Amino acid sequence: MTLEKLGTVPLYSIGDRVRVRDAAPLGHIRTPFYIRGHAGVVERICGAFPNPEELAQQRDGLPAQPLYRVRFRQQDVWPGYRGNPADVIELEIFQHWIEA
């Protein structure tokens, strides 16, 4: 679903520095444990999608949530990371998992 069709205005833009919430709730979650609490930069806005946490529970997951690709430096995510300081890991983060 496109953001335009839904009239959803995403809160964040490409280039914004965002932090993933450091939460550990229950249920079906598509924000991997290893990235929670880490900060990265929005690489692109993928669109808006129904919330998988709700779809997993037989609910419709609407309103669709903006989904961002966020780029994190590996050296920020993993203690003692050895590699190129420019190495990155990129994931899709739903807007509700981004810290206000």
Partner 1 sequence: MKQAAGRYEPYSYFQLMEVSLRELLVEKGIVTEDAIAGAMAAMRERGPERGAAMVARAWTDPAYKARVLENGSRAAEALGFEVPGLKLIVVENTPQTHNVIVCTLCSCYPRMLLGLPPEWYKSRPYRSRVVREPRKVLAEFGTQIPTKVRIRVHDSNADMRYMVLPMRPAGTEGWDEARLAGLVTRDCLIGVAVPKIPKNAKPRKS
Partner 2 sequence: MIERGHHDMGGLPAGKVRRSEHAYDDWELRVDALMMLLIGVVGESRRMTVDELRKNVEALAPADYDKMGYYDRWVISLTQTMIQRGVITTDELARKLEQVRGLSPISRRKRTRRR
Torsion (CA) 81, 17, 11, 15 in degrees, nearest 10: -100
First to last CA, the chain: 24
Q: Which position among 11, 17, 23, 34 is part of the footprint of partner 1 (CB under 8 A)? A: 34
Asked if 27 touches partner 2 (CB under 8 A), the answer is: yes
Asked if 39 touches partner 2 (CB under 8 A), the answer is: no
Asked if 18 touches partner 1 (CB under 8 A), the answer is: no
Which residue type does 39 have?
Answer: A
Asked if 96 touches partner 2 (CB under 8 A), the answer is: no
Q: Which position among 9, 24, 26, 86 is part of the footprint of partner 1 (CB under 8 A)? A: 86
Do residues 56 and 75 make contact, with C-beta atoms less than 8 angstroms apart? no
